[in-house]
Amino acid sequence: MTFNLNSEEHSAAVLEVQKKAGYHFQNQALLMEALTHPSYAAELPQQPAKQNQRLEFFGDAVLQIILSKYLFVSLPEAQEGTLTRMRSYLANEAATADYARRLGLDKVLLLGKGECTTGGRERTSIQGDAFEAFLGAVTLDGGYAAARALALSLIPPLDVVAEKLVLEENPKGALQEFCQSHRLPRLNYELLSKTGPVHSPTFTVRVTVGNRELSRAIGPNHKQAEREAAILAYNALEAELAKSLASATVVLDFDGVLCDSVRECCASAWKAARTIWPDLFEAEMPDEETYTRFRQVRPFLETGFEGILLLKMVKEDQPILEYEQNLKEHFQRILYQWELTEEQLRKLYGDTRDRWIQEDFDGWLAMHSFYPGVISALFRARVNGCRVYISTTKQERFVQALLKRAGVDFPPENIHGLDRKEKKEVLLLRLCQDQERTLYFVEDRLKTLQRVAETPGLEEVSLHFATWGYITRHDQENVRQLSRIHPVSLTEFTRRFGNDVAHSK
């Protein structure tokens, strides 16, 4: 049994809860109301205290609204049934209890003696109610935006939610895909026994990968036993990944791994191209068709100013094969035809972007977006002990501003950008000195990963190729031949970061 903390301990713990939530209450009485269970209030007849049931009612409604809008906006192609199932998964008792425990609400909840002695503090229904009451209190104290920021910081990436729903519907298929994506040995289901009477048998099934047993489960038939064993095996593998990540250091590229800057790059190149070919680039900004076509050719761009030349090729309706096979020849053709030099374009592109930033910094930031699930995954990875660094060719102040705009308070000393003028290998070599932590490097440029793989002293770094970034078809094919470099999808990436909170119903 766990009794209520004494006054001093409780005050300190409540401060810690607010710190974890990223929100400090102006009205402390409202906070205490959210933390007061009806059983505690009932034991104070002489000093009547407000209990949290009304706030729980309100917070439940707020959570439903937050999740409904978030899912509706984030998944424009999803049908009503899918959205409903995902919302239910994110707002069910297991989910809200998980949010409460991660904030530490279970430790500061004020319970009556009876509830304390019967294990009420560990009861998921009480924990879930406490979270809803807390969210309701945040809404009343700080408004909807504060409540939304809190709720969205706690939910797992939507890719992870979708995977969990698939796991419930087809656990054997989900386990098979997991093992294949992580290059695990052969997966096998083995019937160990069939016991009991003929009319009511019990089947026992074991799941192994290679020679290693992952799980055992029983069921009323062979199929059900395999299903239960698959779920247990899947959860065991995910738990292992979460544990390894908690003691790891991860270095992430920014553009193409965390941030999608295609629209900003296209718009900056367009603004620059207008000064050279005003009749060809008449509009002030690109249209949606141009953004779409630029996204298709963005993987061929190596440095920003080349975006001007890529857009010229887009306007010429060059087929994608020309970008793959004859890109440099086309670049030289355009430069020669228009009496331009790479240095001129580099300066034009830089000056154009700098002017845009100076005149409309917020507008420039708004042209960037983060890939689905990466912000919440990044937040949770840091909360759970993973050391995260960002290595990028962007200026550090821009990375900091973009992360802050997305609600991430990232330590500036862990951002290694253009300002430091150091190659990514230098940062990795420095981090390798910590022998007790596994070092991961996630990058969408295959050439960069190959360079790291060939660098003496970086033999133990786990290298991962981000397949959702700016990658070419040739890179996708070539990486399969490189045993040192492991392709990772966006779903796998967010799942690894979100393992610890991928709760089950």
Query: Which residues are identified as catalytic?
Result: 60, 132
Chain-centre distance for alpha carbon 315: 36
User: Would you call 343 helix, strand, or coil by DSSP?
Assistant: helix
Burial 270-283 (b: 16+ CB within 10 A, else e): bbbbbebeeeebee
Tokens of residue 131, six digits = 């979270």
Per the structure block, which two tokens stand in for 253?
């590229």
At 279, the amino acid letter reads D
Q: To the nearest 10°, the Cα dihedral for 26, 30, 32, 36?
A: -160
Residue 105 identity (one-letter amino acid): L
Q: Which long-range contacts (CB under 8 A, 24 or more apart) does 1-4 make?
A: 1/116, 1/117, 1/118, 1/119, 2/116, 2/121, 2/122, 3/113, 3/116, 4/40, 4/110, 4/111, 4/116
* Cα torsion angle, 45, 46, 50, 51, sign: negative
Neighbour count for residue 45 (Cβ, 10 Å): 7
Query: What value, to the nearest 5°, has the Cα angle with vertex 384 and ends 382 and 385?
Result: 70
